[in-house]
Chains A and B, each alone.
Chain A
Amino acid sequence: MKRSVRRTSRKQNRREFLIKTGGALAAAAIGSPPIITHAAETVNIGALYPTTGSMAQIGVGCVAAAKLAVEMVNDAGGIKSLGGAKLNLIVSDVQSDTTVTRTETDRLISGNKLSAIHGCFASALTLIASEVAERAKVPIITGSSSDQLNKGRTYTFTPFARASQFAKAQLQMSKLVSDKPKVAVIFENTAFGTSTSNGLKELAPDEGVEIVMFEPYSAGFTDASPLVNKVKASGANALFSVSYLNDLILIVRTVKQVGLNVAINGGSGGFVIPDFYKNVGKLAEGLQGVAHWNHDMSDEAQKVNAEYKKRTGEFLFEYAGGLVAQTFMLADALERAGSTDPQKVREALSALDVSKGYAAMAPGGKVKFGPDGKNIYGRPVGVQWQNGDLASVFPKEDARAPLMKT
């Protein structure tokens, strides 16, 4: 009796063990990122993007742009001061998850001799990656907009407009549609949402804009109706929604359904990517947003856009376009550093000062970092959906098309 019990329990354990290890192996197989390697003398650049999980769709576009940018640098002769060394992109999937971002960043840095890193698109992820990079003393360059990235960091570089600047531009744009803007601000309760909306709240009085509703929501809801119901009750004539794509699609469609007449400013994030128009269609026409980069800004930007469009069929969206510029900033720094040593690359990056070429593709056309890693010339550009494309409409000096009245 006793023996047979023991035997079944051992069998049971073996089965349990097999299932558990099987699960662990499967998890490892899913999590392992593709690694591109070359044998020749190369400069390793780490790229951290969410290519699976809820943010995958933007992350995948980022990786495509990062590959295109590396090709452009390499085709132009690589890094000349390093004997024409080629850039080697090492992509790592951070799975839209903060914990994974921490371990993947660690793994990427300890497993490879990196000269610099770029990533992660979502501020919540970039904040973590930049912490890890700071500790390992590897420079990280990012288009993420959270102002926190400029606090107490020495290896983090942000060449584009900050969340607080986005806020100011959005407020100014609301005055284009109404003399007395009454704004409802709804934002997802993440690092990106909170920092952007707090910026809006702080700056509103100075810009003469009244905020009649200020409301965080949990991202990934099943139904936008209750939230839109609340906006309706607030009597707002303009709506700022700080959201990623899925929530924003539901919000815009619900606003139209309710028949609510508000000018929507979708901010950046999910609003300024081709998929937004694909999902919302004609309802998107005339909606406004802000971006740190737009594909109609300069000749260089349009050239890169054309190439990206040829490869993917979509226009080059904000984050991916900025990423191409970032790669050229890294190339510029490497050229001047004449070394693959991350410390020397950091020194060179902090002395970056460009006003032409692909590295200067930014609203305003100039990049130079201050001591906090912020581009001292950085500013956002106001955009509007016109005929299925994003046109730069604000401020005057960056406008490439007139504002369409809705």
Chain B
Amino acid sequence: MLEILAQAVINGLLIGGIYALVSIGVTLIFGVVKIVNFAQGEFVMIGMYISFFLATQFGIDPIVSLAVSMPVLFVIGVLIQHFLIRRVLGLNDLPQIFLTFALSLLIVNLSLMLFTANYRTVHTWYSDEAFRVGGLYIPVAKLVAFVLAMILSGALWIFLHTTDLGKAMRAASQNRDVAQLMGINPNRVFAVALGIALALAGAAGSLLMPFYPAYPLVGQVFVLMAFVAVVLGTLGNVIGALIASLLMGVAESLGIQFIGADSGLIVVFMLLLITLALRPSGLAGGRRR
């Protein structure tokens, strides 16, 4: 019994790491630029396809291709901020919602055209391997993904707290007008925020590739969890999103194990509702960091 419980928690934490990469991106964009990016899942998908093609064409390991997918998506993020999001920032919420939603539709349908709806998998030597500890098993691919996800999240935290640009980003997220008065150039800060958020989504895609098939609609599987995590962990709070993602992974896994295999999401949403009832602004309270 204890073994089953431990295994369920391990499974939950491991997938929670991936949720974290996606949700940190969403929360960072919301915190800094104040828009909700509905297309975040689609950038995970792009990251997956980048790794898929590098693996099949050049034999590059998906984990190594992180070094390609992250910079590529960073650039895409900066371009999207510069050419699209910048133009709707002064307007009300509606154009912003339509913009990212349209972007999501566009990317999904373009990839359906370009890549077809087929599932693509990359089979690496460690895809089906697992470490065994007693009766427990820890899949290698997922452990690698989890560890790298935690390292990237940690690196982001250090960036936000120690570098000037990171501090400027936090300042802009706390109060945009005052930050501007202090000489912070919002366009530059926003572009970097978008870039980082998309790079994280790309990283999630590459890390998923050894154990999850890529297909044009794959982003929508992960983005739902990401949105729940973002709300649960207080909108705009990076650490909150990280903790909430891990929590949700575990809640989902325990729900499947002990309530029913179709109840994983029910447990997740119960958790969300209870949290919102008790702490309306999320687990981290009103703080945004």
Q: Would you list which residues of chain B between 1 and 33 have a CB under 8 Å from chain A?
A: 4, 7-8, 11-12, 14-15, 18-19
Residue in B94, B95, B120, B130 whose beta carbon sits within 8 Å of that of A257 in the complex: B130
Indicate if B185 sits at the interface (CB-CB under 8 A): no
Given A19-B98, A57-B117, A275-B118, A222 and B15 touching (CB < 8 A)?
yes
Q: Tell whether A246 pairs with B215 under 8 Å between CB atoms, given A52-B112, A216-B261, A221-B264.
A: yes
User: Is B262's CB under 8 angstroms from A257's CB?
Assistant: no
Question: B14 contacts which chain A residues (CB < 8 A)?
Answer: 223, 225
Q: In the complex, which of the residues B213, B253, B256, B257 contacts A249, with contact meaning CB atoms closer than 8 Å?
A: B213
- Which B237-280 residues sit within 8 Å CB-CB of chain A? 252-253, 256-257, 260-262, 264-265
Contact A249 B11 (CB under 8 A): no
Residues 212-265 (chain A) with a chain B CB within 8 angstroms: 215-218, 220-223, 225-227, 229-230, 233, 245-246, 249-250, 253-254, 256-259
**Do B119 and A229 have beta carbons less than 8 Å apart?**
no
Q: In the bound complex, what is the Cα–Cα distance between A61 and B13 (angstroms)?
A: 38
Q: Is the CB of B95 within 8 A of A19?
A: yes
Q: Is B157 an interface residue (CB 8 A)?
A: no
Residues of chain A with a CB closer than 8 A to B4's CB:
229, 233
> B residues within 8 A CB of A254?
139
Q: Does B121 lie within 8 Å of A222, measured CB to CB?
A: no
**Who on chain A is nearest to B11 by CB?**
A225
Is A12 a contact of B123 with CB atoms below 8 Å? Answer: no
Flag if B18 contacts A222 (CB, 8 Å).
yes
A261-283 CB mask vs B (1 if < 8 Å, else 0) is 00000000000000100110101
When A226-B253, A249-B121 are in contact, do A257 and B137 touch as well, CB less than 8 Å? yes
Chain B residues lying within 8 Å of A220, measured Cβ to Cβ, are 221
Q: When A229-B8, A275-B118 are in contact, do A222 and B105 touch as well, CB less than 8 Å?
A: no
Interface flag for B57 (CB, 8 Å): no
CB distance from A246 to the nearest CB of B (A): 6
- For the complex, would chain A's binding face be called helix, strand, loop or mixed by DSSP majority? helix
A26 contacts partner chain B, Cβ-Cβ < 8 Å: yes
- Other-chain residue from B8, B91, B137, B252 in contact with A258 (beta carbon distance below 8 A): B137
Contacts of A249 in B (CB 8 A): 119, 121, 213
Tell me how many residue pairs across A and B have CB atoms closer than 8 Å.
120
Complex contacts, B121 vs chain A, CB 8 Å: 249, 278-279
B15 partner residues in chain A, CB cutoff 8 A: 222-223, 225
CA distance A308 to B11 in the complex (A): 42
Complex contacts, B120 vs chain A, CB 8 Å: 279
Contact A12 B119 (CB under 8 A): no
Are A279 and B213 in touch, CB under 8 angstroms? yes
Q: B221 touching A226 by the CB < 8 A rule?
A: no
Chain B neighbourhood of A52, CB < 8 A: 109, 112, 117
Question: How far, in angstroms, from A186 to B260 measured CA to CA in the complex?
Answer: 11
A residues within 8 A CB of B127? Answer: 253
**B177 CB-CB contact with A under 8 Å:** no
Are the CB atoms of B217 and A54 closer together than 8 Å?
Answer: yes
User: Can you name the residue of chain A whose Cβ is closest to the Cβ of B113?
Assistant: A52
Judged by a CB distance under 8 angstroms, whether B283 is at the interface is no
Given the complex, which residues of B lie within 8 Å of A16, measured CB to CB?
A: 94-95
Q: How large is the interface on A (under 10, 10 to 19, 20 to 34, 35 or more residues)?
A: 35 or more
Contact A12 B92 (CB under 8 A): yes
In the bound complex, residues from chain A placing their C-beta under 8 Å from that of B260 are 215-216
Q: Are A216 and B262 in contact (CB under 8 A)?
A: yes
Q: Mark B198-216, 1 if CB is under 8 A from A, else 0.
A: 0000000000000111010
* Interface pair A26/B105, CB less than 8 Å apart: yes
Question: Nearest CB to that of B253 among chain A residues?
Answer: A226
Residues on B with beta carbons closer than 8 Å to the beta carbon of A215: 260-261
Counting CB contacts under 8 A, is A80 at the interface? no
- By beta carbon, the residue of chain A nearest B108 is A52
Q: Which residues of B are found within 8 Å of A283, using beta-carbon distances?
A: 128
Contact A229 B7 (CB under 8 A): yes
Q: Mark B79-111, 1 if CB is under 8 A from A, else 0.
A: 000000000000110110010001001000100
Closest Cβ of chain B to A331, distance in Å, is: 29
Q: Which residue in B18, B91, B109, B256 is a CB contact (below 8 Å) of A226?
A: B256
Establish whether residues A222 and B262, one from each chain, have CB atoms under 8 Å apart when the complex forms: no
* Residues 117-131 of chain A, each 1 if its beta carbon lies under 8 Å from chain B, else 0: 000000000000000
Expressed in whole angstroms, the minimum distance between the Cβ of B13 and any Cβ of chain A is 11
Whether B213 and A230, one on each chain, are in contact in the complex, defined by CB atoms closer than 8 angstroms, is no
> In this assembly, does B222 line the interface, its C-beta being within 8 Å of a C-beta of chain A?
yes
The answer to whether A257 touches B253, judged by C-beta atoms less than 8 angstroms apart, is: no
Tell me if B116 counts as interface (CB < 8 A to partner A): yes
User: Given contacts A30-B105, A216-B262, is CB(A53)–CB(B217) below 8 Å?
Assistant: yes
Q: Are B261 and A259 in touch, CB under 8 angstroms?
A: no
Tell me which residues across on chain B come within 8 A of A23, comparing CB atoms: 98, 102
Q: Give the docked Cα–Cα distance between A30 and B11 (Å).
A: 38
Residue of A nearest to B217 (CB): A54
Evaluate whether A57 and B116 lie within 8 angstroms (CB atoms) in the complex, with A218-B262, A222-B221 already known: yes
Q: Which chain B residue lies CB-closest to A228?
A: B11
Determine the distance from Cα of A222 to Cα of B91 in the docked complex, in whole angstroms: 36
**B-side contacts of A281, CB under 8 Å:** 123
Kindly list chain A residues whose C-beta atoms are within 8 Å of the C-beta of B217: 53-54
Chain B residues whose CB sits within 8 angstroms of the CB of A227 once the complex forms:
256, 261
Q: CB-defined interface of A192-221 with B at 8 Å, one 1/0 digit per residue?
A: 000000000000000000000001111011
Q: Which residues of A contact B (CB under 8 A)?
A: 12, 15-16, 19-20, 23, 26-27, 30, 52-54, 56-57, 60, 186, 189, 215-218, 220-223, 225-227, 229-230, 233, 245-246, 249-250, 253-254, 256-259, 275, 278-279, 281, 283
Q: What are 5 A-B pairs with beta-carbon distances under 8 A?
A: A57-B118, A57-B119, A225-B15, A226-B257, A281-B123
- Which B residues contact A (CB, under 8 angstroms)? 4, 7-8, 11-12, 14-15, 18-19, 91-92, 94-95, 98, 102, 105, 109, 112, 116-121, 123, 127-130, 132, 137, 139, 211-213, 215, 217, 221-222, 225, 252-253, 256-257, 260-262, 264-265
